[in-house]
Amino acid sequence: EPEVTQTPSHQVTQMGQEVILRCVPISNHLYFYWYRQILGQKVEFLVSFYNNEISEKSEIFDDQFSVERPDGSNFTLKIRSTKLEDSAMYFCASKARKGSYEQYFGPGTRLTVT
Amino acid sequence: DQQVKQNSPSLSVQEGRISILNCDYTNSMFDYFLWYKKYPAEGPTFLISISSIKDKNEDGRFTVFLNKSAKHLSLHIVPSQPGDSAVYFCAASGNNFNKFYFGSGTKLNVKP
C-alpha cells in the first residue's frame, strides 16, 4: 500500500540553524500539506501546496518557513532560523485530488531545537 | 484559534462497551468533518468523515453523528476493542479542503 514517508524521523538542531524536513508524498497525489504538533497540543495546520504554489498558509507559517517541491517527488519544509518554540512533531500529508478530503499522513519528523 | 475543540483529553472504556468521543466547533462555514486515529510514533490515519448535509455516517463499528445546530459531532465506536486504544482527533474543513482545523485529541483507552 502506498504511503507518505518522512525523513529524518528525529532532527536535533541548535537555535538559529536552518533545517529542512523532507517528505515523499504518495506518487499520484496532487495536494500537499505540512502540519505540526507541539507536545501535548493539537495538530496545527501550517501550509497547503498545489501546482507548485502555496494554496493557503496559517499565521504560524511566517517568513521563517518555506516549502518546495524541488524534483516532482520530494516535498520539503525549510525553517530558516530555528527557535526553541519550533520544537514539535512535523507531519506531512498528501491527498489525491481537489474533491477529496482524505489526507494521508506521514509518520512525522520530531524536531528538537536546543 | 480554537475553532475545533475536544474537551475530553482522555476516555477509558471497557472492552465490548460503547466509546463516545465528542467534538465541538465554532465556525458555521465548515462543510466537512473528519475523525483521525493516531497511534504513538505514527501519523494520523483517516477513520471516517461526514459532510454537513448529513447527520450520520456509519462504517462498520464506527458511526459519526453531526448536530449542525449545536455545532457538535461525536464518534461512536461499538463494540470497543483494545486495538482501538489511540488518540482520536476531530478535524474540520471548508469545501475547498485547503485547510483543516484539528482538535486537541482524546486519548481512548479500551480496557480488556
Q: Which of A23, A101, A110 best probes binding to B when mutated, by most B CB atoms within 10 angstroms?
A: A101
User: Is the distance from CB of A27 to CB of A73 less than 8 angstroms?
Assistant: yes
Fill in the DSSP letter of residue A69: -
Which range scores top for mean pLDDT: A11-15, A49-53, A93-97? A11-15
pLDDT score for B1:
58
Average pLDDT over residues A8-34: 96
Residue by residue, what is the 3-state secondary structure of B82-111?
A: HHHCEEEEEEEECCCCCCEEECCCEEEEEE
Q: pLDDT tens for chain B, 112 residues: list them.
A: 579 999 999 999 999 999 999 999 999 999 999 999 999 888 999 999 999 999 999 999 999 999 999 999 999 999 999 999 999 999 999 877 778 899 999 999 999 9
Q: How far B45 CA lies from chain A's nearest CA (Å)? A: 7
The pLDDT tens digits of the residues spanning A27-46 come to 989 999 999 999 888 899 99
Residue of B nearest to A31 (CA): B98
Cα separation values, B30 from A21, B26, B34, Å: 30, 9, 11
Q: How far B2 CA lies from chain A's nearest CA (Å)? A: 10
For residue A58, pLDDT beyond 80: yes
Q: How far apart are CA B6 and CA A97, in angstroms?
A: 29
C-alpha cell at B14: 471497557
- How many residues are listed for chain B in this entry? 112
Percentage, residues of chain B above pLDDT 90: 85
Average pLDDT over residues A66-84: 93
Structure-model confidence comparison of residues A72 and A66, the more confident one: A66
B97 with A56: Cβ contact below 8 A: no
A99: Cβ contacts below 8 Å, ≥ 6 apart: B97
Cα separation values, A54 from A1, A47, B76, Å: 28, 7, 36
Q: How far A63 CA lies from chain B's nearest CA (Å)? A: 19
B34 with A101: Cβ contact below 8 A: yes
Q: What is the mean pLDDT of chain A?
A: 93
